[in-house]
Structures are given as structure tokens and as C-alpha cells.
Amino acid sequence: MASPLPLRFVLSAPDLSALPSSPGEIAVAGRSNVGKSSLINAVANRRNLAQVSRTPGRTRLLNLFELDSAAHEVRGSVVDLPGYGYAAVPGRTRATWQKMIEGYLLGRDTLRMVAVLVDGEIGPTALDTQMLEWLRAHELPHAIVATKHDKIPSTRRQKRKKDLAVACDSASKDVTWVSAVSGTGIDQLRTTMRGWLAP
């Protein structure tokens, strides 16, 4: 069994320039409600670690978590990107916000992987496919992680996974499907994340 990632919250930053350097970083992206906080908590095996990303004032910031270097681990960090798709965000703010996320993704030179979370129950939304297209256009390394595996009955999972992959313009084998509730895939994801961070 893969041990939990020893993540600890470091800071929230309004843009790339306010982030400390990192030997290697994984960015976690997804629309609000996709299960991003639950997933970060699950890989770290902490109940409330990612709640910090949801506190007022931090929902639109880059929230940085570091792997505790005392834990004899691979070194690196995880950045929780603001959840996209809050309908309540006015156009002007949305543009600023988008610029901030794009600035981070294009400018963070130690970025190893962008994990794009897609809701496994409802499939990718237009915002998810836009994000994937944007990442492809900029040739940024990315991986699709589907959430909420437990919400689909086992008899429908295989087809759902295939459909998810097609909707994301990807191959079924390239989609990791996890559940923060049942724990399905979490162990595998921890190992995969360590692999992304390994020098």
C-alpha cells in the first residue's frame, strides 16, 4: 500500500510571483464541486487539509501544499488551482482570474503535471474540455483524473469510463478513476503522483 502524501499547507498566492520555488510541482485543476478538496484530503489521508482552499478569500488564489521534507520522501509540492466555473464571478473578475491561472501554468518552470479532475458521475463539462484543449495547445503535461467512482454502479463503470475518455478526446487507459469516498484508485494515484515528482 502506498503511504499517504505528507502534504502540509504553506500559503495562498495571488499569482505566480508570490510562490516560493519548488523542486517539482503538480497542479490540480477542475471546476468547483468536482471533488478537488476531497481528493487532496484523500491522497494526504487528512480530513480537512484542503479546506483551506475553500475559506473565503482563498478560493481564487493558488493554494500551495508541500510534501514534508522531514518525511524522507520525494520533494515537491501540489498547487490547488481555483475551481473554474463559478457562475457568480463577473466577467471582469473572471478575466483577471483566468489570466492568473494561465500565467501560473505557462510560467511555472518546475510544473511537472497538471491533474485535470473530471466528474466521473456527470462527465466533462464544456469548461473541462476547454481546459484540456488549452493544455494540449500549449503542450503542457496533463493527466485526466475522474472523480466519484463510487457513484456509478459497477455494471456501468466500464462503459462510463470509455465514454468519459471519448468525451475528453483521450484513451480509456489514460483516465484514472478514483473515489474519495470508497478509496478506489487513491493508492494508485499516490504512487502516480510520487512518480510525477520524482527527479
**Binding stretches for ligand GDP (CB under 6 A):** 30, 32-38, 83, 147-148, 150-151, 179-181
Q: Of 36 and 190, which has the nearer Cβ to ligand GDP? A: 36
What order do you get walking across the sheet with 62-67 strand by strand? 7-13, 62-67, 77-80, 25-29, 111-119, 142-147, 175-177
- What's the closest the beta carbon of residue 142 comes to ligand GDP, in angstroms? 17
- What's the closest the beta carbon of residue 38 comes to ligand GDP, in angstroms? 3
Strand pairing partners for 26? 78, 113
Q: Please name which of 60, 35, 46 lies closest in space to residue 7, comparing C-alpha atoms.
A: 46
> In the numeric block, which cell numbers belong to residue 68?
514534508
Q: Of 32 and 129, which has the nearer Cβ to ligand GDP? A: 32
Q: Of 38 and 129, which has the nearer Cβ to ligand GDP? A: 38
Residue owning grid cell 465514454: 163
- What's the closest the beta carbon of residue 60 comes to ligand GDP, in angstroms? 13
Count Cβ neighbours within 10 Å for each residue of 78-97 and write b for 16 or more, e otherwise: bbbbbbbbeeebeeeebeeb
- What's the closest the beta carbon of residue 182 comes to ligand GDP, in angstroms? 7
Q: Of 73 and 150, which has the nearer Cβ to ligand GDP? A: 150
